[in-house]
Amino acid sequence: MKIYKNAIKTERAFILFNNIQHISWRLEFKNDYEVKIYSNAQVIIQPMSTNDLDNLLENYKEFMGVQD
Q: How far apart are CA 27 and CA 29, in angstroms?
A: 6
Question: What pTM was estimated for this model as a whole?
Answer: 0.90
- Classify burial at 68, counting beta carbons within 10 Å of its beta carbon; exposed 0-12, middle 13-18, buried 19 or more: exposed
CA distance 1 to 66: 24
Per-residue pLDDT of the chain (68 residues; tens, 9 = 90+): 999 999 999 998 999 999 999 999 999 988 899 999 999 878 999 999 999 999 999 999 999 999 88
